[in-house]
Amino acid sequence: MEAVILAGGFGTRLREAVADVPKPMAPIRGVPFLTYLFEYLIRNHVSRVVLCTGYKHEAISAYFKDSYKSLALHYSIEEEPLGTGGAIKKGLTEIHGDQVLILNGDTYFEVKDLHGMLSFHQDNKASLTIAAKQMCDFDRYGTLLLSEDNRIEGFKEKQHMQRGYINGGVYIINKNELADVSIPERFSFETDYLQACYNKKRFVAYKSEGYFIDIGIPSDYYRAEKELVL
């Protein structure tokens, strides 16, 4: 299995907590956050990763070079910001297989069985599968609206929710899904693809109760430093 990791974030909201580095390079117990994602992928038998980089991309490539243990690392470098969608579209051109795993470089969601998620995606003949995490008493994330058979029927804006499933930032997508020339080179994956196309394409949710953390804000970054271990 191959993976694409979005690793071009500026980390603006983390500036008070970490040095001026790309978010995925924020140190957790002395090593970059990306290290934890790589270890997770290795445990799930992922063999190849394309890193979508932009802001201070040299910091990532200088540290990890072309491999991490058994993972082969390749770099898709944005010369100018392409948005999350544009970064993924560019990264997909480096993928060899028919389906690929996509991860946010600032989120750790321990979906227990990525190969099971891939089988679920294939069995549902989906264009996109989103790993969904059930949360309680939250307001930081939007909520997935799901049918009884886990098809995605919409996205509810951020608001306080007693309980609901959120987009966990882990996806499986078909390699050619974004290859259409009508799709711009620069766009938001979340707004211009997910929210704009859920009623035109088959998007499904794969529910998982694995550990989840998003280091995008200082409080959760400090929590990650206490909770994550290699």
- In the chain, the number of structural domains is 1
The pLDDT-based confidence of 171 (bands split at 50, 70, 90) is very high
Q: Is the pLDDT of residue 89 over 70?
A: yes
Note the pLDDT tens digit of each residue in 203-230.
Answer: 999 999 999 999 988 899 999 999 999 8
142: domain CATH number is 3.90.550.10
* d(C-alpha 19, C-alpha 17), whole Å: 7
The pLDDT-based confidence of 76 (bands split at 50, 70, 90) is very high
* Cα-based distances in Å from 113 to 63, 67, 102, 116, 167: 29, 23, 15, 5, 17
- Domain containing 205 equals 2-227
Please, are residues 7 and 105 in contact by the beta-carbon 8 Å criterion? yes
DSSP secondary structure string for all residues of 97-119: SSEEEEEETTEEE--S-HHHHHH
Residue 96 sits at the vertex; the CA angle it makes with 169 and 43, to the nearest 5 degrees, is 50
Please, are residues 173 and 197 in contact by the beta-carbon 8 Å criterion? no
| Burial letters 169-189, b for 16+ CB under 10 A, else e | bbbbbbbebbeeeeeeeebeb
Note the pLDDT tens digit of each residue in 174-198.
Answer: 999 998 868 899 999 999 999 999 9
pLDDT of residue 21: 82
